[in-house]
Structure 1
């Protein structure tokens, strides 16, 4: 029977002491897994430092100590913490999709309190975004904003945007929140938050008067007055002064009938005097058709006071004669050289 170690000998350096450390690993691991881990490290050091055991025995003891600690430590939740967060996010997204309030995303990016109803807020829809924000902040709301269309544009100048949707909520800290879905001012609101904008279509305006066509385009609500212009349908024609071609007729529209008319669209209506009719597209050159011009002076015959005289047209003041050939000049004694003009 072996004798117990002498009083001066360190007990944990003996073979029974080393075995005691190995057996203590799972016992302390049951109490606290971190304490068990520290004892495991101490046991491994004692096994490999100054121990007379054979190498195979040391390896077996080390593996055994680690296995004993692993057997008593509880397993982590299946799937890990990331899966738990993902499931929570998925539940939150499903809640957003099925919410009965506006389908706008959560304001300020914070989760809402599930146990409290969303706070009440005035209806800010239809207001300019900057004014809606000011009013909501004054009412104690934390305010968020986003593009309500499927274009997902960044909002830089709020005074150029109009509120279409709003959604209220509360953060876990109790702050009231409101999130605005807005579109550029002048654009129609989509049917749902994040949906496509249904832009108005270019109407059929051919052979309508400028006065009627102009009103129909402006009534679309997205074309400012300065984005609408009149032009001539014939290459060698000239519009009368503004306000004097209200009865001229539309021959061509740009954009064409049925095209989307957006906030960035410039509309051109090509007009003709109703006595001329519209040009045939295949009869012109360089994409434009010219009206008859017998004297080839650039002034079409229908408004040329002297269609057979190249030297007199509507830009030469009604055929006013040149007085350079008068014999006496001046107003006394001199005579205008005015044959074949309306002045003689």
Structure 2
């Protein structure tokens, strides 16, 4: 070998300029980044500078090493928890810190909105209840609450008894009845109509108590009289003398259902201890409370209530005398002035003409022709 042709030996590179040293610096970036993001970041800057300055690498190799340093720092910091909210990369202010620093609060997580609870619409008109429910976002339905399965046409004429709401599906179904109808105990049950009690023979006060206890509205009770010569009292007048008025007849009969279309009628008779008649008649409008008011009434002297004769008669003259025929005795043709007949009702029929009486208030009354030509009681 010619020593003059041997190439000179290249001195070896320092160890920190070798490829293993640079790769070790890059690995150190990931290791330190796992413990401290800040320290790892500084080491990454130094490693990148070493990559570009020390090893004799081509530029694209150095660029790849730079990108690799960033990736290694990210991986190391992520594995070490340095990128979490509670890591060392973020400082949490404490209540005792100066400068009025406020503690860091995490943003609230979104909450699922709860559905609107359906309001209680029972007792309200059906049309109003459906409008309010739809305004709250519900889909509405309705049906007959009774067992009759009637079609609901005019919703304003129906009242909500029961409702069933589904907050998940946002639907509500109303069970309704017609106005003035009672609500059933449950959906689809019969309507609990009150039943007519037996009040025949009871005083008016007692009858009213029995009707109220049965659940019957007294505003729907009609009154009537049973005598031909007594006017029908009003509810107020009957209540004033509630123990003097007696129920002689009733409608409907005992045990009958009293629905919203049923008319309750009480036929009343009135008497006190001073009246001649103190019992109900066998039928309505067949008896006079005051017997003297009966046109066919005859007193003990054979005088009829209308003042006419009790039998037909004819007379003939002869021999200065007179005789009667026809099988009946003669009677006074001019009528008879009766005495007092007790308590009377102004304007009712009376007989005989001239008879006297008094009202419940004590006003003197006399029997005489009225505006219609018939004998009636009027003030004397």
TM-score of the aligned structures, taking structure 2 as reference length = 0.44
Structure with the larger helix share: 1
Q: Look at both structures and tell me which one has the larger radius of gyration over its CA atoms.
A: 2
Higher RCO structure, 1 or 2 (CA under 8 Å, sep 6+): 1
TM-score of the aligned structures, taking structure 1 as reference length = 0.48
Structure with the larger strand share: 2
